[in-house]
Structure 1
Amino acid sequence: MWFYRPLMTQLGAPKIPEGERVDFDDIHRKRMEKDLLELQTLIEVHFEQRKKEEEELIGLKARIESRRAERAEQQRVRAEKERDRQTRIAEERQRKEDEEAKKRADDEAKKKKVLSNMGSGRFLQAEQKRGKRQTAREIKKKTLAERRKPLATENLIEDGLRSRAKEMWEWIHQLESEKFDLTEKMKRQKYEETQQSKILPLSEQDTQTHTLFNIFK
């Protein structure tokens, strides 16, 4: 460290006048004055230097404290920003989870609605087919009942019996023919109903296909 030293006047040794009586007391006094002056100068330099060092120490402490406070403020700001960032991340995560949960719930509701509609359609078709089958059986039963005639053979003679037997044979033959036609008709009707049950109406099929595609994609 650089020390400030004031310029000191170099005092030379007192000269002894030639040809005169030497005054040793005066020489000693002057030497003492010279030493005292040098000592005072050194003391002043010391205190001046100490004052400067104390001022520098105070300034250094102030700078250290300022730097410490600045670092503390920076850490506080960083911590606050990090808390805000974590809060935003948590809120965004919660928002996405809520959206996904809502989407799953909506998809489940759509699935249930579509399946319910499809089930209702199948139930209605089954009821219609059941009604058609029941109607066909009723028609057949009614037709047979109308065509069935009592034999009434008690009072018939031989020719009458032959005629009645022929009539019965023709009637049985007709029934067999109608039975065959009705059986074939019911087979065709059953086949058509089966095919129709596999193919939904165009508008309903397009709507349900589009809905199912959006749900299950």
Structure 2
Amino acid sequence: MKRQEQKRSDLDEQLKEYIAEWRKQRAKEEDELKRLKEKQAKRKITRADEEKRLAQKKKEEEERRQREIEEKKQRDIEEKRRRLEESEKKRQAMMQAMKDQSKKGPNFTITKKDLAGNLSSAQLERNKTKEQLEEEKKISLSFRIKPLEIEGLSIDKLRVKAHELWEAIVKLETEKYDLEERQKRQDYDLKELKERQKQQLRHKALKKGLDPEALTGKYPPKIQVASKYERRVDTRSYDDKKKLFEGGLTDLIKETTEKQWSEQKQQFLGRQKAKLPKWFGERPGKKAGDPESPEGEEDVKAAADDDLEEPQLEADEDEEVEEEEVEEEEEEEEEEEEEEEEEEEEEEEEEEE
């Protein structure tokens, strides 16, 4: 019983210690959790302030960007208005000049500079979007159509205003008629110029021996790479024939000539070279201290014979050396055969014993 009570008391003390330790740990965890919650709340407040500040900054940037866009649009509108005003002034000046020159004959001269300028402007017009064209149309109409200010006008002033508008309509109709007549005249001039160009191209084709309508089509004529009277079937490709007729024949002749020259050169360098006889008399290019040249034809012939006989002597010496080597080999073979016979005889004697 005492032992059981002792064990129970020990267990109670251990449990109390464990409970106390657990309570301390729980208190620490609660304090840590409370601190983290406070930190999280502070962070939420800070984040909200930061988001509010960023939203305000973004709003200000958006407003500034919108202002810049509006200012840019306004500047573009003003620039277009200014350009349209300048073009309108130029058009008016051109119309006045055309009226002044209407008594003169048609001008068939077309400068390349004006043609390039017209092409570039036409390309720019094609590249514009529908919105840009609508905007330009509105700007042009706002410049040409002026607003009517008839509020507070009397009957006499209204009559004067109506008369001014009637005169403006008559002026515009007159300009329209003049432009239509000018277009008809320019179309006629262009047709006449095209007909002249066709005539020139026909004459040019006839000079080259082509069909009269060969150069008047949309595409240029094909390159003639062979005669139409040729009966033999050509096995060369179109590219080869085209190269020949574009100047490749000269290159082919040059290549063939160089090949023949190289072959003849190699043949010349590969010939047999014989020693020439020595020069008799005072040889050209002789320097002081050089040995004297042999005099007379006999010396020359002897020298020539010596030069010609030297290779024969060398050949004879080579043949003698080869014969000596063959004889030595035969002697060695005979000695070996004799030694083998002696060995066989000795073996037979040993077997008999």
Q: One fold, TM greater than 0.5?
A: no
TM-score range, shorter chain: 0.3 to 0.5
The structure with more helix, counted as a fraction of residues: 1
